[in-house]
Amino acid sequence: MANAQDLSRRRLLSLAGAAAAAVALPPARAQTSEIKPAQRPTGDWPSKPIRIVVAFPPGGLTDAYARMYADQLTAKFGVTAVVENKPGAGAIIGIDTVAKSPPDGYTLLMTTSGTVWQNRVLYTKLPYNLDKDLVPIALFPSGPLVVGVPEKLGINNYRELMAYAKANNTNMGSYAPGSYPQMVADQANRTEGTKIVTVNYRGESPMWVDLASGQLQVAIGSYQAFNTVATRGVKAIGVTGSYRCPKLPDVPTLVEQGVAGRLVQLEGGLPLMAPAGTPEAVLQALSRVVVEGAHTARAAQLRDNFAIPNKPKDLAGTRADWERDVPVWIKVAVELGIKLD
């Protein structure tokens, strides 16, 4: 017979999953009318279903963006766009699927920035070349990430978290190997003398549930996923990035709390990518759907749910940001010296 803790954990998982799925519900009727149909941009493309491979499980921000975008592609071009979740191996399985697909615009990738930015130096060997096999279409913003702890620990800010971690065994939840939380934990261990152990999960929901049940002492992730357990004894003590979370205006950034280093100032995102060699006209068409779709009511609601104040840029803006930001992320990863294999 399941004990009370098991039943509580299952209930939390169910609630967290339901909340995450809510942002990925089928669009309202207004959604289709907001995306104006277009002629095919090149040749007969698209003339068959488009597959969007998500390198993470259903639920969460990556999946929600992908499902919204799939509906927008269908409304725009009149072909079916489907989402296929292929999690596992720190997103390597999903990325490999797309990297080895024909560059014809029918197989796309949605993942987190860390898996296609830092992973090129976090892993000694990958089954694909992140410098050559994939190209960006858009970078969906993720907004500030929330640093959460169980209220019962009595921790109110980052400095108190460091003091706790120096005196106690501390586990930090991470939504994927080599992700932002793991890098933050590793930086703390190096600069603060802590021995925080990173526990990698396949997605956010189970991570936050374990934090609420006391199996973790700290976790970092999206506002929406954090909010599913915020009334169950979980407290936000900081946010990452250069600005405060719109939904948590009283919670200071880690930068404001005096955390040194470039890492905590950076804001990642969720890249939409295609196999290298995909025709430029197709990339442009896919990007235009992202930009147009960002102005719909559904996209605005998704951003509000996840406390994301900014919108994705067009293809030129994405490429410019990619050229500027990726080397910085890689440099930070190299300096931390993390290896995942």
Q: What is the pLDDT of residues 301-321, one digit of tens each?
A: 999 999 999 999 999 999 999
**pLDDT band at residue 90, thresholds of 50, 70 and 90?**
confident
Q: What is the pLDDT of residue 270?
A: 95
CA separation for the pair 202, 192 (Å, rounded): 28
**pLDDT band at residue 23, thresholds of 50, 70 and 90?**
very low
Q: Among 24-38, 104-118, 193-207, 284-298, name the one with the lowest average pLDDT.
A: 24-38
Q: What is the pLDDT of residues 256-283, one digit of tens each?
A: 999 988 888 888 899 999 999 999 999 9
Which of 216, 245, 240, 213 shows the shortest CA–CA distance to 229?
A: 213
Q: Among 13-17, 156-160, 233-237, name the one with the lowest average pLDDT.
A: 13-17
Cis, peptide link before residue 46, omega less than 30° from 0: yes
- In this predicted structure, the answer to whether residue 11 has a pLDDT above a threshold of 80 is no
**pLDDT band at residue 13, thresholds of 50, 70 and 90?**
very low
- In this predicted structure, the answer to whether residue 1 has a pLDDT above a threshold of 60 is no
Average per-residue pLDDT in the chain?
A: 88
CA separation for the pair 67, 58 (Å, rounded): 10
Q: What is the pLDDT of residues 216-260, one digit of tens each?
A: 999 999 998 999 999 999 999 999 999 999 999 999 999 999 998
Q: Among 68-72, 137-141, 203-207, name the one with the lowest average pLDDT.
A: 203-207
**pLDDT band at residue 41, thresholds of 50, 70 and 90?**
low
Q: What is the pLDDT of residue 20?
A: 43
User: Which residues have a Cβ under 8 Å from the Cβ of 258 and sit 6 or more positions away?
Assistant: 158, 159
Q: What is the pLDDT of residue 205?
A: 85
- In this predicted structure, the answer to whether residue 9 has a pLDDT above a threshold of 90 is no
User: Which residues have a Cβ under 8 Å from the Cβ of 111 and sit 6 or more positions away?
Assistant: 54, 55, 56, 62, 91, 94, 95, 270, 271, 273
User: Which residues have a Cβ under 8 Å from the Cβ of 215 and sit 6 or more positions away?
Assistant: 171
In the chain, count of helices (H) and strands (E)?
Answer: 13, 10
Q: What is the pLDDT of residue 28?
A: 40
Domains and their CATH numbers in the chain: 20-142+269-336 (3.40.190.150), 146-265 (3.40.190.10)
Higher pLDDT pick, 57 / 292? 292
